[in-house]
Structures are given as C-alpha cells and as structure tokens.
C-alpha cells in the first residue's frame, strides 16, 4: 500500500466514518419525515407572522375608528361654521353631529363591542330614542366595561323624558350594581326623580345627606340648591360650614 494512503478496510472501520455512515443512513431513512417537519415548522412560523401582522393592522384600524368617533363626539357645533382648521370637525346643527357620531361609533363596534355601542346609543337617543333605549338596555344587562354607564344613561334619559317610574327602576338596579358609577351620582338622580314626582320628603332626605356628606363638591352644591328650593327648613339642620352664607356677611344668593 502506497505511503499516505488509507486502505478501504481501515477506512471502513474508522469511528468517524462509521458515525457518518450511520448518520447518513438515519437521515436517508427519515428524509421524508424530516422534510415534512421542516415544512410544518416553516408554515407555523409564517402563519404566526401573518397573524401578528393582521392583528397589528386590526389594532391600527380599531384605534383609528375610535379616534375618529371621539373626534366627532367633541366636534364644534356652530352656524356659520368656524374657519377651517386642519384636523378639526364642525357641524352646523346638533342633529347633524349626533347622527355623524352615532355612525362613527357604529363603525367601531366590530372592534370595541359594547363600549362603542354605548357611546353610539347615547347619540342615537336624539334621533331614534326607541332603538337607542333597546341598545342601552342590552348593554346595561350585560357584563362589560360599559354596562353601568349604559344603565346610568338609560335612567337619565327616562328621567328627563318624564318616565319617572322607569327611571327609578333603573337607578335602583344601578344602586345594587354601581360598577364604576359614583354612588353619589346615583343618589342624586334618585332624589331628582323623587322631586319630579312630587315626593318631597324622599327627595329632601337624599339631598340633605348628599349636602351633608359632600362638603365643597360640585354635587354637594347642587344638592344644597335643590334642598334650599324644596325644603329650606332642612338647611338649618346642616353643619354650620354647609349652610349657605356661613362665615360670610350679606345675604345668600342661591346657586343656579
């Protein structure tokens, strides 16, 4: 055998060569399953990237839809319209604004569900109250982030529409499950409804408690205004600092 040459017999028994041969045979015997798994993994990775891209696109669309709806919600109403300003939306009438806002929030429903339905229904109350009431009821009876606000909007709508018994029913449901609605707001609405029904005693008691417990707050001032109007004798029962004109000279002017 020539010097520097490795015989076939020696090569055959070389450990590295034996490992190579075994590995080659293993891969050869499993090349189809391996290829299948490579394709599957590649498909999964590609699918993940596609889903992530679609989700990012949907999030951008969702954000844009809600931003547009809120831009209309905050739009200026003026006739004549103000001078054009980039990015500003304006309407000549409240009716035009409510219709446009409702339509904008409806476009966001597929992304934001009950939250967008609630905002849309609040605007729909101004031009199609029956349908808006039905939407608010459905959202209020659900269990979403907008449920308590929807019930409050429904109760307020009934109250200002003169449906006082319906309003009281909704306020009481809200009182049992207030969610993120401040309890004082609910009590104030109940008191206003009792006042509208001529139930002075019930209204007076609630206004008195709000005025007593809500020192120097906006709702406390409003409660004091109502109390002074319907039952001025109760004002004298308030702590000194709560009485109108306390600590000041001169006559009291009822807040509006």
Report CA-CA distances (Å) from 204 to 89, 126, 172, 174, 175: 44, 31, 18, 21, 18
Q: Is residue 115 part of a domain?
A: yes
Residue 235 covered by a domain = no
Residue 255 pLDDT class (50, 70, 90 cuts) = very low
**Is there a domain that residue 218 lies in?**
no
Provide the percentage of residues in the chain whose pLDDT is more than 70: 69
- Is there a domain that residue 253 lies in? no
Q: How many domains does the chain have?
A: 1
> Per-residue confidence at 61, pLDDT binned at 50, 70, 90?
confident
Alpha helices in the chain (DSSP H): 8-12, 15-29, 31-73, 94-107, 109-112, 114-124, 129-140, 147-160, 164-176, 183-196, 200-213, 218-230
Segment 77-130, tens digit of pLDDT: 988 887 766 667 889 999 999 999 999 999 999 999 999 999 999 999 999 999
Residue 247 has pLDDT above 50, yes or no: no
Q: What is the pLDDT of residue 248?
A: 37
- Residue 2's SS3 state is coil
Q: Let me know if residue 50 belongs to a domain.
A: no
Question: Which of 215, 228, 214, 216 has the alpha carbon at shortest distance from 256?
Answer: 228
Q: Does residue 132 fall inside a structural domain?
A: yes
Parent domain of 73? 55-146
Per-residue pLDDT at 58 exceeds 70:
no
Q: What is the pTM of this model?
A: 0.71
62: confidence class by pLDDT, cuts 50, 70, 90: confident
When comparing pLDDT for 83 and 164, which is higher?
Answer: 164
- For the record, the structure tokens of 103 come out as 């339509």
The answer to which of 93-107, 133-147, 167-181, 202-216 has the lowest mean pLDDT is 202-216
Angle between helices 31-73 and 114-124 (to 10 degrees): 20
The closest of 10, 125, 110 to 62, measured between CA atoms, is 110
80 in any annotated domain: yes
Round to whole Å and give the CA distance between 175 and 100.
33
| 74 occurs within a structural domain | yes
Instruction: State yes or no: pLDDT of 47 exceeds 60.
Output: no
């Amino acid at each position: 055998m020539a010097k520097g040459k490795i015989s076939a017999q020696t090569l055959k028994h070389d450990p590295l060569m034996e490992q190579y041969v075994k590995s080659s045979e293993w891969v050869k015997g499993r090349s189809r399953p391996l290829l299948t798994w490579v394709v599957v993994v590649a498909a999964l990775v590609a699918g993940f990237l596609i889903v992530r891209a679609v989700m990012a696109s949907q999030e951008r669309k969702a954000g844009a839809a809600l931003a547009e709806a809120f831009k209309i919600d905050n739009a200026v109403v003026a006739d004549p319209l103000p001078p054009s300003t980039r990015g500003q939306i304006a309407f000549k009438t409240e009716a035009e604004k409510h219709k446009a806002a409702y339509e904008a929030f409806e476009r966001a429903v597929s992304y934001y569900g009950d939250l967008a339905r609630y905002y849309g229904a609040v605007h729909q109350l101004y031009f199609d109250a029956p349908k808006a009431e039905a939407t608010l009821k459905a959202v209020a009876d659900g269990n979403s982030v907008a449920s308590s606000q929807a019930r409050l909007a429904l109760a307020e709508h009934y109250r200002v529409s003169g449906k006082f018994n319906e309003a009281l029913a909704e306020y009481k449901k809200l009182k049992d499950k207030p969610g993120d609605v401040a309890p004082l707001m609910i009590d104030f609405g109940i008191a206003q409804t009792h006042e509208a029904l001529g139930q002075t005693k019930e209204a007076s008691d609630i206004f008195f408690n709000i005025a007593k417990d809500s020192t120097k707050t906006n709702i406390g001032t409003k409660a004091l205004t109502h109390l002074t109007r319907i039952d001025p004798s109760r004002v004298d029962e308030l702590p000194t600092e709560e009485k109108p004109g306390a600590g000041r000279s001169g006559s009291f002017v009822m807040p509006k």
